[in-house]
Amino acid sequence: MKEGRFLFLAILVSLIAPAATGQDSAEIRRPRVKTAGIQRPKVVRTRTYSPVVQPSSVTVDVLGVAPSAVNGSVAATDPQSLPLAFSITGLPKHGTVSITPDTGAFTFSIAGHTQSTGDLFRVAVSNGSAQSIARVNVKLASDPLLQNQWHIQNVGQDAFASVLPVYGNDMNVAGAWTAGYSGRGIKVGVVDTGLEAAHEDLAANVDIGNSFNFLTGLNDPSPDPTEPGFDHGTAVAGIIGATAFNGKGGRGVAYNSRLRGYNLLSYFSIANMAKSMGSDPISADNDLFNASFGDSAPSLPTFSGAFQAITGTTLELRNGLGAAIVNAAGNDFEDWEYWPGTGLCDNAYWFNVSCGDPANDERRGGYAPIIVGAIDADGKHSSYSNTGSSLWISAPGGEYGLNSDYTPDTNYAPAVVTTSRTGCAHSAFPDPVNPLDSKGANQVCSGLSIHGRHERHKRRNAQCRRCHRNDA
């Protein structure tokens, strides 16, 4: 009975379906919806490219005494040739930087001294859709002891002595250095005890080929390495032309000058003086001579005319332009330097006038030498410096640079910071006399590795005959 019922239903469905659809087929189809004039939007996907940047680096020669700056640019390209925009995103720590937004050209500046050797900043480079970061490294080239050299710029800073310098008493070199006057192309004859040609803060400026050693007959004017002791000529050379921006020691006033050493004071004669001061081809093209020596006799000389002939020759050098002689006034104001305590200067001391006079020395006579007296870091007359009518000018010479934490004394005024012979056995004193001395030129130093370890204070040296502290 059930099977018959299912069969009847199946037949009934088959008869009804064609009539309901109006089709002959038993298949049921869905009608299509017409979409004339209507299109689905297509999704266009584009790839974003970031600008391509390169790291860069610049070097700033830090003047210290005035602002210093360097120009550079960030190298960047865009794969799609889109215009780029540049902006500072990471500021430098020690200096300041500005940038041109549409070119990437920048200027990095630093205001004064720094003990840091480097700096960095970052630049964002954008093409409007993406950006990249460029790193710019800045090398800060300076000299660590420059900020202690009060004779170059005096701001009352630490000069290692107990007494501080008095602001403003200096050589006022900022304007000259800023204008680019650094001694470049100037040849200086250092007529003294010689100079250490291989010194790390002098070597780059030393011209050995036009120097002369009267003890060896060779060109190298360096002191005998087997003989320990302070070398006055090396200190003088550093004041004149210690190398700049090398991260070592201090800086010379004419830091790009060429230094030529003649150790006349190690073997003095009229002939050797002539050879040192322009009467021989080895010294004839010098632009100037520094002669930091004086007479050793406490009496008026008999003028022979020989020395005037030598100094007169310098007036005809350089094709008639002449070469200057800068000569120290001497160290005999309070007492006669090489005969102390003899009473020769009692009357001068009583009346507070100079005992010695540059005119006592025939080598400093005549109108060719420029006689230079010395002043202290407070702008006053240095205790030792000769006075007299033959002085042209006075310049920073300082005192002894002693520090009460290291040695008992009564004169603790600053000395001039300059180069000394390399090593620990070349001090004028057996023990350190200030903090800088304790790290370098003295008998007790060992194993030290700091910048400027061979720098010391120029001060009176009892072993250096005819040497003067107020070296120009």
Confidence of residue 39 (pLDDT cuts 50, 70, 90): low
pLDDT at 203 over 80: yes
Residue 173, C-beta contacts closer than 8 angstroms, at least 6 positions apart: 65, 152, 153, 253
pLDDT at 62 over 80: yes
pLDDT at 221 over 90: yes
Question: What's the chain's average pLDDT?
Answer: 84
Q: Who wins on pLDDT, 1 or 82? A: 82
- On whether the CB atoms of residues 331 and 294 are closer than 8 A, the answer is yes
Confidence of residue 13 (pLDDT cuts 50, 70, 90): very low
What's domain 52-141's architecture?
Sandwich (2.60)
Predicted local confidence at residue 128, as pLDDT: 94
Q: Is 9 helix (H, G, I), strand (E, B) or coil?
A: helix
Residue 115 backbone dihedrals phi, psi, to 5 degrees: -95, -5
Predicted local confidence at residue 433, as pLDDT: 86
- Residue 147 tokens read as 């900020």
Percent of residues, the chain, with pLDDT higher than 70: 81
- Residue 51 tokens read as 């600008």
Q: Who wins on pLDDT, 312 or 20? A: 312
- Residues 231-235: what's their mean pLDDT? 94
How many Cα atoms occupy the beta-carbon half-sphere of 286 within 13 Å? 33
Extents of the domains making up the chain: 52-141, 144-472
- pLDDT tens for 400-442 read 999 999 998 888 999 999 999 988 777 666 678 888 877 654 4
Strands of the sheet with 68-73, listed across from one edge: 68-73, 105-110, 96-99
pLDDT at 119 over 90: yes
- Residue 98 tokens read as 């500005």
Extended strands (E) in 11-104: 52-53, 56-61, 68-73, 76-77, 85-90, 96-99
Q: Who wins on pLDDT, 355 or 318? A: 318
144-472 topology per CATH: Rossmann fold (3.40.50)
pLDDT at 390 over 80: yes
Strands of the sheet with 258-262, listed across from one edge: 258-262, 187-191, 288-291, 324-328, 369-375, 391-396
Cα–Cα distance between 355 and 157 in angstroms, integer?
Answer: 33
Best CA proximity match to 259, nearest among 323, 308, 188: 188
| Same fold across 52-141 and 144-472 | no
Predicted local confidence at residue 162, as pLDDT: 95
- Residues 62-76: what's their mean pLDDT? 97
3-state secondary structure 124-138: EEECCCCEEEEEEEE
pLDDT at 455 over 50: no
Predicted local confidence at residue 253, as pLDDT: 98
Cα–Cα distance between 269 and 328 in angstroms, integer?
Answer: 19
Confidence of residue 50 (pLDDT cuts 50, 70, 90): very high
Task: Tell me how crowded residue 427 is: count the other CB atoms within 10 A of its CB.
Answer: 25
Residue 427, C-beta contacts closer than 8 angstroms, at least 6 positions apart: 230, 420, 437, 441, 442, 443, 456
Query: Alpha helices of 228-269 — where are they, by DSSP H?
Result: 232-241
pLDDT at 38 over 80: no
- pLDDT tens for 317-332 read 999 999 999 999 988 8
Percent of residues, the chain, with pLDDT higher than 90: 63
Predicted local confidence at residue 16, as pLDDT: 43
pLDDT at 44 over 50: yes
- Residues 139-149: what's their mean pLDDT? 97
- pLDDT tens for 234-243 read 999 999 999 9
Best CA proximity match to 467, nearest among 428, 413, 425: 428
Task: Tell me how crowded residue 249 is: count the other CB atoms within 10 A of its CB.
Answer: 29
- Residues 341-366: what's their mean pLDDT? 83
- On whether the CB atoms of residues 447 and 424 are closer than 8 A, the answer is no
Predicted local confidence at residue 29, as pLDDT: 52
Confidence of residue 375 (pLDDT cuts 50, 70, 90): very high
- pLDDT tens for 278-334 read 999 999 999 999 998 876 666 777 778 888 899 989 999 999 999 999 999 988 888
pLDDT at 117 over 50: yes
Residue 118, C-beta contacts closer than 8 angstroms, at least 6 positions apart: 137, 138, 139, 140
pLDDT at 109 over 60: yes
- Residue 11 tokens read as 């037949």
Q: Is 433 helix (H, G, I), strand (E, B) or coil?
A: coil
Predicted local confidence at residue 416, as pLDDT: 95
- Per mean pLDDT, which range of 2-6, 68-72, 107-111, 460-464 is the poorest? 460-464
- Per mean pLDDT, which range of 215-219, 314-318, 408-412, 444-448 is the poorest? 444-448
Confidence of residue 17 (pLDDT cuts 50, 70, 90): very low
